[in-house]
Structure 1
Amino acid sequence: MKPMPVTDSMFLALDTREHPMHVGGLALFTPPPDAGDDYLRLLREDLLTNSDVRDVFRLRPATPLHSLGYLSWTEDTNLELDYHFRHSALPSPGRIRELLELTSRWHSTPLDRHRPLWEVHLVEGLADGRFAFYNKIHHALMDGVSALRHLQSVLTDDPAARDCPPPWGTRRPPRDRVRPSPRPLALLRAGGRVLGDLAGLAPVTARVASEAFREHRLTLPLQAPRTMFNVAVGGARRFAAQSWEWERLGAVAHAAGVPRNDVVLAMCSAALRTYLLDRDALPDTSLVAMVPVSLRPRAGGETSGNRVGALLCDLGTTIADPADRLAVIHRAMADGKQLFGDLSPLQALALSALNVAPFAVAPLPGVVTHTRPAFNVVISNVPGPRTRLYWNGARLDGLYPASVLLDGLALNITTVTSGDTLDVGITGCRRSVPHLQRLLTHLEDGLNALERAVL
């Protein structure tokens, strides 16, 4: 048995048929040049014989403790790989459209809690000869950043390499040195740092209040307007995905003097503005995005668990001019990052908890219908590999994340920088966000407008 952190237990408690709490990803590959007609069949057979399974992929929730919920993980000693790893083929004509529809269905289905909480789907039948992996794993085991880091750990930048582990495997790490037990003085120092962080929460709260209310610099929860995205969600999902050249966003960012992430947010703002205008549903008040911020050390190699903070960003959706809208987004993100940069990790988590706290009561009947949303949409930008990667000779062409929806949050946009592209995955409630794929067209239109405005 392994004790379960509170955050993991919380994600399991939130998991229902209407709110499956897994993160996913669609990876698109071009087979190696020497692949034969039986390449994928042989690939499947080879993967099923690989018993090198990373520890996190053997964990399943232990029996819940009545009303207290899940408190520990247990290791599944009889892992059935052929249950977790599945091979499927697309119907004709094998377009990306069919691939996304299949991904939408898989992403709608909850994971079986009696088994380790993950699935990997190998998909063939694309008309252009490519194949795909759709992976999903429960948020209690990995967040988006740790899932991406895990994927990178099984890939390589060498197209000739044929020793890559399976998606559930791991490369053999060097033998760890035995770590000495913590000394009493070190424990006292660590405890002192925690107490210092807690003592610092009061001045942090005062500073946030000053900047938000007096200086009008920070966006706080419950300032967002009600939109068609802020409703109770059903269990069915839609998933849409597309890639953009990272160089295009870089040119806009350089000309405007802003980070590329701000350009991503401006593209999303334009897309949401157009989508809502088409439905005569654009509020008079600007939409607010929750932007997850990784609290992991940049040099760290953690590939499991959850360490994510939350900033709120004014998207400027009431502003028609794309350059002016980008300026509003840039200021909102700069102010939030400056505040987070001055905080300890514990203090940053406390501020993040304040930003998302209203969602703790969202499952209660009537809360979503009768209260203002904490924010309107989640927009994540996950740093990914900046070089071309391969898996046993197959070239990675795209990496599209699929995320979690909750009551009051029917739309999620997650992006990954992969090689020389920005790969965008959009997850929406099938019932509440019709014609989700149109957001992809609106994203392209938004980038075109930014290019005309600043270049």
Structure 2
Amino acid sequence: MSGGRHVVRPVDDVWLAMDQPDNLMVVEGLMVVDGELDRDTYVRLLQERVLDRFPRFRQRARHAWLPWPGQWWEDDPDFDLDRHVQEVRLPAPGDDAALEDHVASRLSRALDRQHPPWEVHLIQGYAGGTVIYTRLHHALADGTALFRVVLALADEEPDEEPEEEPEEEPDGALDGDGPGLLHVARSAIRALPGTGRLLRTPMVAEHLLLARRPASPLSLPPHHSKRAVWTPSIEVADLAGLRHATGATVTDIVMAALAGALRRWLVAHGTEPMVDDLPTMVPVDLRGSAALRADDLGNQFALVLLDLPVGIDSALGRLDETAARMRAIKASPEAWLTYGMLEGMGLMHPRLRVLATDFFARKATGVTTSVRGPDQPLHLAGMPVTRLWAWAPMSADQSLSTSIVGYAGKVHVGFKVDAATVPDPQALVAGLQAELAELTALAPPG
């Protein structure tokens, strides 16, 4: 199925320009299936539920001068699904360490931009089951879109058939009148009010433009090597007492535990005096809950800065402050302003674009993605899906990406780190577990 030729939207073009060897602009996800999923079955599902619905997965970004200069999505004339889907088997004993090693071997490898910028590893032998490891360039889609595409492979019931969705005419196609150019123009117009509102909103302007990342062991220059680790599943029911006692949400609690884990790590690495806050970028989805359409890939999210209160020495104090800051973010126009700014950056000269994106990225230690997945368990080819993670890329010189995914009554937390800056990522896992244990011990049972 041909996807036609489409202009790369300015907000997506930003991510093409941000790629650098030490921090690749790749969104990554892991899905754990309880059972061995054979490659033929997976490829059939991928073809029916992803490639046939989203032609963008057959396209690559190419620079062209006509009908106007810029980046364009075009069909890959040499598209080969075997190039994009690889099957591997973990060495015995097929445990977390073996999976971590395989993921680490790919984290620093750039995607081949001569072809559609995505790949899937079907990893066999993990705890007797299969892991689907998906890597997708951020220019193709953001983390929420990736999450929805991956979940499109699964069903709520073991033998459920996928629902047919109506075909939609993609915006930006070259169809006589050139709506792609109109899309670029609309992007520019939308970006201008965002900038104006930013200048008229002093508090948000101060936060976005004047905020500085404190010096800490986490603010060192990045290196090529990356690692990914994760916690055991966290039962949402175990947090009920704390939620009722404090009024905090599950996300508030996990974010506060993250602040505590980072505090423990900083103390262990000689941070003295302790910094007050560690800023992290939090992606905010702007799509809403509507079904993902063929023209709905790309980036429709904004970034807000959340200051994790690592300087507070009380676990409950960190929770109270984190919850207050999360509420303030929800009431702030910051998300829409940063989205407008990202679109504006996409219209800049490439050199200015890199300078602008690096300027904002260097205000944060890393990025923290919080995604709420389905409340009910899913099945893939009749087999239960047990765990999910989705990591955003680290930009500029950031060193930490944290994944928080709620799914079927559990929370799954994972860390992707710069291996030179954070040589002991398991310390973050242990710290987060210890923080959650301390917090839940302070509240009556739910």
Give the TM-score normalised by structure 1: 0.80
Tell me what 2:407 maps to: 418
Q: How does 1:105-124 map to 2 (within 5 A)?
A: 105-124=105-124
- The alpha carbon displacement at 1:15 in A equals 1.4
Q: In 2 relative to 1, CA 244–208 (structure 1 residues): closer, same or farther, beyond 3 Å?
A: farther
326-335 or 247-256, which moves further after superposition? 247-256
Tell me what 2:308 maps to: 315
Please say if 1:14 is aligned against 2:18.
Answer: yes
Tell me what 1:324 maps to: 317
Aligned counterparts of 2:55 and 2:327: Cα–Cα separation in 1: 39
Q: How does 1:226-305 map to 2 (within 5 A)?
A: 226-242=215-231, 243-281=233-271, 283-302=274-293, 304-305=297-298
Tell me what 1:145 maps to: 144
Q: In 2 relative to 1, CA 78–325 (structure 1 residues): closer, same or farther, beyond 3 Å?
A: same
What are the Cα deviations for residues 310-355 of structure 1, in whole angstroms up to 9, with x where unaligned? 22222211111111111111222212211239x8x4x46247899x
Tell me what 2:201 maps to: 207
Secondary structure of the residue aligned to 1:125 is strand
Report the residue type matching 1:131 in the other structure: T
Q: How does 1:94-113 map to 2 (within 5 A)?
A: 94-113=94-113
Q: In 2 relative to 1, CA 430–160 (structure 1 residues): closer, same or farther, beyond 3 Å?
A: same
CA contact (8 A) 1:62 1:74 kept: yes
Secondary structure of the residue aligned to 1:93 is coil
What are the Cα deviations for residues 416-439 of structure 1, in whole angstroms up to 9, with x where unaligned? 111111112211111211111221
Report the residue type matching 1:434 in the other structure: P
Tell me what 1:168 maps to: none
Aligned counterparts of 1:192 and 1:409: Cα–Cα separation in 2: 32
- Of 354, 362, 370, which aligns to 1:381? 370
Secondary structure of the residue aligned to 1:62 is strand
Q: How does 1:123-134 map to 2 (within 5 A)?
A: 123-126=123-126, 128-134=127-133
CA contact (8 A) 1:359 1:374 kept: no
Please say if 1:75 is aligned against 2:68.
Answer: no
Q: In 2 relative to 1, CA 311–445 (structure 1 residues): closer, same or farther, beyond 3 Å?
A: same
Aligned counterparts of 2:303 and 2:289: Cα–Cα separation in 1: 17
Gaps of 5+ in 2: 176-184, 345-351
Report the residue type matching 2:201 in the other structure: R
Aligned counterparts of 2:355 and 2:268: Cα–Cα separation in 1: 32
What are the Cα deviations for residues 214-246 of structure 1, in whole angstroms up to 9, with x where unaligned? xxxx68653331122223212221001232112
Give the TM-score normalised by structure 2: 0.82
Secondary structure of the residue aligned to 2:339 is helix
Aligned counterparts of 1:153 and 1:268: Cα–Cα separation in 2: 30
Please say if 1:335 is aligned against 2:347.
Answer: no
CA contact (8 A) 1:9 1:70 kept: no
Aligned counterparts of 2:33 and 2:170: Cα–Cα separation in 1: 40
Q: In 2 relative to 1, CA 109–10 (structure 1 residues): closer, same or farther, beyond 3 Å?
A: same
Secondary structure of the residue aligned to 2:416 is strand
Gaps of 5+ in 1: 165-170, 182-190
Aligned counterparts of 1:134 and 1:381: Cα–Cα separation in 2: 19
Tell me what 1:3 maps to: 7
Please say if 1:427 is aligned against 2:399.
Answer: no
CA contact (8 A) 1:233 1:406 kept: no
Secondary structure of the residue aligned to 2:323 is helix
Q: How does 1:22-33 map to 2 (within 5 A)?
A: 22-31=26-35
CA contact (8 A) 1:245 1:422 kept: yes
Tell me what 1:157 maps to: 156
